[in-house]
Amino acid sequence: MTLYRSDKLVLMGVMALALASALATRAAFAPEPQISQFLTRLSEPLDLNSATLDELIDLPGIGPVLAQRIIEYREKHGGFKTLEELLEIRGIGPKRFEQLKGRVRLGPTR
């Protein structure tokens, strides 16, 4: 079973509430580094120039085939220089681009 990004957010919210109610001391509320990194990754836009196949699949409207096309485009062109380059990938039109625009960002190219 694959958990999508939205499912992970809901699951993490439920886990956070359960953890908060189970812990009695203020010091116990400090998140573990791994949990903190995971929550940050979910809330921050995804870097198109370093995202893995699984991370891309978690984006709305992106399945395994489209995620693979994004990676192939990235490898062929040496990374994304602008977000608008997503429109050059078969299967990503203006509507899907608008859905993705706030959820992705560009980090350094490799």
Let me know if residue 29 belongs to a domain: yes
pLDDT in tens, 71-100: 999 999 999 999 999 999 999 999 999 999
Do 97 and 51 lie in a common domain?
yes
Cβ–Cβ < 8 Å for 48, 74: yes
Helix, strand, coil tally for the chain in percent (to 5):
60, 5, 35
**Residue 73's Cα: distance from chain center in Å?**
18
Let me know if residue 9 belongs to a domain: yes
Let me know if residue 26 belongs to a domain: yes
Let me know if residue 110 belongs to a domain: no
Do 54 and 95 lie in a common domain?
yes
* Residue range of the domain that includes 87: 46-105
Do 52 and 14 lie in a common domain?
no
Cβ–Cβ < 8 Å for 71, 53: yes
How is residue 52 written in tokens? 């893995």
Q: Which residue has the higher pLDDT, 36 or 71?
A: 71
Do 32 and 64 lie in a common domain?
no
Q: Which residue has the higher pLDDT, 24 or 41?
A: 41
Do 50 and 39 lie in a common domain?
no
- For residue 76, what pLDDT is reported? 96
